Structure 1
C-alpha cells in the first residue's frame, strides 16, 4: 500500500494530486494544509488531512507516522507562493520601492525554497523506511535559465528566482541522500490553469504577453493551459518512472526539458 504526502493540498494542483491518488484504494494519501478547518474541498476525497505550516510540519509527520507505522513512500512538496502583484513587474520596476521588492523576495524564498527543505527534513526519517523512497519538488518552467533568456521572460521574478533556488537546493539534497537509494526530483507541472477568480487587468495583459513568448519557445504548443487533473496525471507518470539515475534533476511534466 504506497503512501503519499502532498503539501498545499487544499486547491489547484495539490487537490488534483489528492483526487487522483485517492481514487485508488490501495494508496494511503495524506493531504497537508495550513488551515485544516478551511480545507472543505478535501472532505469529498479518500485521504487523511493533516495540518502543517512553515516551522511546524513535524506535527504532520508525527500524524502520518502513527498511521503508516513510521514509513512514507513519496513526499510531494507542492505548497508554494506566487504573489499576483509581481507577475506584471520585472526587477527594474522596483526603483524607489526597494522595501517592496525585498519583502517579495524574502517571503517567496521563505515559502518556496526554505519551506520544502524543512518539510523534506521532517519527513526524511519516514522516507528512509519507505519502499519507493521519493522526494518531489513541484517547480516551474519559469525557473529554467535557458527558457528565460531565449524568449526574455522577465515577469514573476520573485517566484522564478525562489523556485530556481529550490531546484538547486533539491540537487544538493539529492547529493546528500543518493547513497541511501532516495530519489529526489524537481518537476515542472506545465502551464496549469489554477485560477479561482479573474486576475486584475494588468496581470491578464502580462499573462497574454507571456503566452505569446511561450508560443515562440514552443511553436507547436496550442497556447492553452492544461487543467490540474491533466497535469497531475502526467507528473505522476514522471514520478512513477523516476530512477536513481535521474536524482537531483529538473524535468517537465513530459519527463524532459519541454516545459509546455
Structure 2
C-alpha cells in the first residue's frame, strides 16, 4: 500500500488528509508539533494505517527522527510527502503592509512566516527526499494559496495578509528549484492552492466576519461565481485528484485544487 507523510496534521486540511488517506487503505504518517494537544489526531490514534509522530517542521532534529521512524516502518521508502503546515497570524492577518504598530511587530511576523511557510517545507522536503527517491509514486505536494498569485491579488485588489502572501510566494520558487534538480529522478513537485476552505474551529467575531465578507467581495471581482468556502473534505478530494494525475512534466507547477490557475 502507498505510504504518505502529512506534515502539519493536527487540524483542518492536514487532519483531513490523514483521515481520508487512511480510509483508502494507505499507510499514513501524521506529523504534528504537539500531537497530544490535537483532539482530531487523538481520535484517529490507533486506527488502521495511521502512525502519529511528533515533529516540528522548523526543527530538523525532530524531522530527522520522524524520517528515521518512517524509514523503519516502510523499509526505507516513501511514496508521497504532503507539506501542509503553514502559519498566518490571526493578530496581523487583516493588516496591510504598512499598518503594523511597530517595526518589530512587522519584523517578527515576516520572520515567523518565512520560517514556517518557506524554511519549514524546505527542511521537511530535504530530509524526506532520500526516502522519496526509494518510493514508487515519488510525489511532493506543498500547499500554497491563490493569494500568492500576484495577478490574482492585483485583480482582486486584496490588500491583507502581507507576510503570509509574500512567504507563500517564496515557497513556490523553492518548489521550482526541486523540480529542476529532481526531474531526472522522476520526482514530481506540485504547489497546490486548496481553495478557500472553512477550517474554523469556532465562530468568527463580528470584526473578523466583516473582514471575511470584504475578502469574499474582493474575490468575486475576479470570480463572480464564488459563493464561499468549501469543506476540508471537498478540498482534499480535489487536491488528491490533481496529484494523482500529475506526472514529471507537471513538476514545478503551481495550480489550484481544480488543477488550473483558477483559484476559486
Task: Report matched runs for 1:82-161 at 5 Å.
Answer: 82-94=88-100, 97-161=102-166
For 2:221 and 2:168, the matched residues in 1 are separated by: 23
1:19-43 per-residue CA deviation (whole Å, 9 max, x = no partner) reads: 1101022x11110011132234223
Structure 1's unaligned 5+ residue stretches are: none
Q: Hey, what's the Cα distance between the residues in 2 that align with 1:87 and 1:36?
A: 25
TM alignment of 1:93-242, pairs within 5 A: 93-94=99-100, 97-221=102-226, 223-242=227-246
Q: For residues 69 and 199 of structure 1, what CA distance do their matches in structure 2 show? A: 45
Q: How far 1:207 sits from its partner (Å)?
A: 1.3
What is the CA distance between 1:15 and its match in structure 2? 0.6
2:175–2:190: 8 Å Cα contact kept in structure 1? yes
Instruction: Give the drift of 1:98.
Output: 1.1
8 Å contact from structure 1 (residues 191, 225) kept in 2 = yes
The gaps in structure 2 that reach 5 residues or longer are none
Quote the Cα distance in structure 1 between the aligned partners of 2:38 and 2:208: 27
User: Could you tell me the TM-score, scaled by structure 1's length?
Assistant: 0.96
CA RMSD of aligned residues (A): 1.1
Does residue 1:22 correspond to 2:28, yes or no? no
SS of residue paired to 2:95: coil
Larger CA deviation: 64-73 vs 46-55 = 46-55
Confirm or deny: 8 A CA contact 2:77 2:133 kept in the other structure: yes
Task: Tell me the number of residue pairs that the alignment of Structure 1 and Structure 2 aligns.
Answer: 257
User: Cα deviation per residue 1:184-242 (whole Å; 9 max; x = unaligned)?
Assistant: 01000000000112334332222111100111111122x22000000000000011001
The 1-side partners of 2:210 and 2:102 are apart by: 22
TM-score by length of 2: 0.94
CA deviations over 1:152-201 (Å, ceiling 9, x no partner): 11101111111010111111111111111100010000000001123343
Q: Secondary structure at the match of 1:187?
A: strand
1:256 paired to 2:260: yes
